[in-house]
Chain A
Amino acid sequence: MNNLIYKYRIDNHEELNKTLLDFFDTLPNKIGHQEYNLGITKFDGHNHISSPLLPKEWQYQDPLNVPGEDPTRLNITDQYREHLELFPHMKYKEIFLNAAKNKFEEHAEFHIQPEITGLDYAFNIMHMWFHQMTESDYISWDNHQWCQWSAVYFIEVPDQKYITEFLNPEDCMVMQPEAEAGDMLIFPSWMLHRAPKMLTNQRKSIIAWNMDICYVFPKEQIYILKQTHPENWKS
């Protein structure tokens, strides 16, 4: 079960984390409403209207469900950039994603195995949010819906004991991977996890998100499908 929690160390994370923390310092404590089961001091809630807004290159729409559409042509609008002036706090998403892109690709290539399967891939991030937790803050057991993968990036963590805990359903034991600031954990969305209660006045800061890694048929495969099953491509 341990191998379902994938850990990646982000390059230049010290510089990245300083930029993120300086940016969070400029934001108000609450952006959106907190859900009743969360105990967090500062956040942009994943139920806030800005939560599903991500740069266009990180969101994907199925071109195979659009007859005649080409998979390389993404026809969704860039809601993130269109709303950046209205929700300037979202800027942290772009900063983080640009810095972590190569590790996202590593995770995707591991699970899609393009050389074996002949498939391409695309990311679809449904929601992204940040939390800053201080003394007495915690999140109880939880899993995430409508997605294949969930993930957390640690910007600052006072101690190993405040790293996310996971429940292994095979033996009902709690697992706590070793991690620190600069680490990104990606895990299956169905896996129960929690944030341990903060028993210190030091701060913990994280970014979290839900995503799919979508398989994408290469253009050559689409071309063959159009030849063999033309009726499926008629409007």
Chain B
Amino acid sequence: MKNLIYKYRIDNHEELNKHLLELFLGIPIKLGSHSMITKGDSHSHESSSMIPKNWSQKEHWDIKKWPHIEYKKLFLDAAKNKFKEHAKHHLPDLNYKFNIMNMWYHQYTEYEIDGISWHNHWPGSQWSAVYFVEVPVNKFTEFLNPETQETINVSAQDGDMVIFPSWMLHRAPKLETGNKTIIAWNMDINKNE
């Protein structure tokens, strides 16, 4: 089961993360609703399905209406080679295309949340993923291995991207100290005829 959780380290992540955090500073506290986060644009928000061209089947990118979505382009441009690495691993010798259905960011502050409880991602995607912009030392995401009924702790640090099957249950433990900022998304990697 462990080999279904893929971790990639993004090049030049220090510079990328600095840009992202500056950009997030200028965004209102919450866009959309979400039960358990301090700050973010929820995946239920209208802008969540707005994804840069060539990354989505939808032509839905309206940055004039929602300027905060600039962070998506910034991140995807920086992480593109790692997305390709993941796609080539799963569709060897085939042409492929990405379809990101939605993308959102969350910022958590210590003591303010109880953590995010067990969940998987739906409706309708092959893969889910998270990019860690800033994360306290020794912080990890927990996945449930149904084979053994044990949790798999995946440690991550600033600059790591973790991709996993959307059906896999996972949770974020309570933040005991420091701040945590992530970008998350759901996607398909399809054969391109």
A126 contact set on B, CB distance < 8 A:
124
Describe B's contact surface by its main secondary structure.
loop
In the complex, A169→B124 CA distance in Å?
Answer: 22
Q: Is the CB of B165 within 8 A of A232?
A: no
Nearest CB in chain B: distance from A46 CB, A = 14
Q: Which of A77-85, A143-151, A195-203 faces chain B?
A: A143-151
User: Is there a chain A Cβ closer than 8 Å to B149's Cβ?
Assistant: yes
Q: Is the CB of B35 within 8 A of A148?
A: no
Contact with A along B111-152 (1 / 0, CB 8 A): 000000111101111110000000000000000101101000
Q: Is the CB of A214 within 8 A of B122?
A: yes
Nearest CB in chain A: distance from B33 CB, A = 4
Q: Is the CB of B126 within 8 A of A232?
A: no
Other-chain residue from A169, A188, A189, A231 in contact with B92 (beta carbon distance below 8 A): A169
Other-chain residue from A143, A149, A192, A214 in contact with B123 (beta carbon distance below 8 A): A214
Q: Is the CB of B169 within 8 A of A117?
A: yes
User: Is there a chain B Cβ closer than 8 Å to A157's Cβ?
Assistant: no
Contact with B along A151-174 (1 / 0, CB 8 A): 000000000000000010110100
User: Is there a chain A Cβ closer than 8 Å to B90's Cβ?
Assistant: yes
Q: Is the CB of B124 within 8 A of A212?
A: yes
User: Is there a chain A Cβ closer than 8 Å to B72's Cβ?
Assistant: no
Q: Is the CB of B165 within 8 A of A190?
A: yes
Other-chain residue from A116, A191, A225 in contact with B35 (beta carbon distance below 8 A): A225
Other-chain residue from A191, A215, A229 in contact with B120 (beta carbon distance below 8 A): A215
In the complex, A169→B123 CA distance in Å?
Answer: 25
In the complex, A119→B44 CA distance in Å?
Answer: 21
User: Is there a chain A Cβ closer than 8 Å to B167's Cβ?
Assistant: yes
B34 contact set on A, CB distance < 8 A:
232
In the complex, A92→B101 CA distance in Å?
Answer: 31
User: Is there a chain B Cβ closer than 8 Å to A184's Cβ?
Assistant: no
In the complex, A183→B127 CA distance in Å?
Answer: 26
Q: Which of B7-15, B73-81, B176-184, B185-193 faces chain A?
A: B185-193
Chain B residue nearest to A119 in the complex (CB): B118
A228 contact set on B, CB distance < 8 A:
35
Other-chain residue from B1, B117, B165 in contact with A188 (beta carbon distance below 8 A): B165
* Residues of A in contact, count (CB < 8 Å): 46
A65 contact set on B, CB distance < 8 A:
44
Other-chain residue from B3, B90, B94 in contact with A190 (beta carbon distance below 8 A): B90
Q: Is the CB of B167 within 8 A of A113?
A: no
In the complex, A231→B29 CA distance in Å?
Answer: 14
Chain A residue nearest to B167 in the complex (CB): A148
Nearest CB in chain A: distance from B76 CB, A = 19
In the complex, A149→B123 CA distance in Å?
Answer: 11
Q: Is the CB of B126 within 8 A of A190?
A: yes
In the complex, A147→B165 CA distance in Å?
Answer: 10
User: Is there a chain B Cβ closer than 8 Å to A124's Cβ?
Assistant: yes
Chain A residue nearest to B94 in the complex (CB): A141
Residues on B lying within 8 angstroms of A by beta carbon are: 1, 3-4, 33-36, 44, 89-92, 94, 99, 101, 117-120, 122-127, 144, 146-147, 149, 165-169, 188-191, 193
16 A/B residue pairs, CB under 8 Å, sorted by A: A1-B3, A3-B147, A4-B4, A111-B167, A117-B117, A119-B119, A143-B91, A146-B125, A146-B188, A147-B126, A148-B124, A189-B188, A212-B123, A214-B123, A215-B120, A232-B35
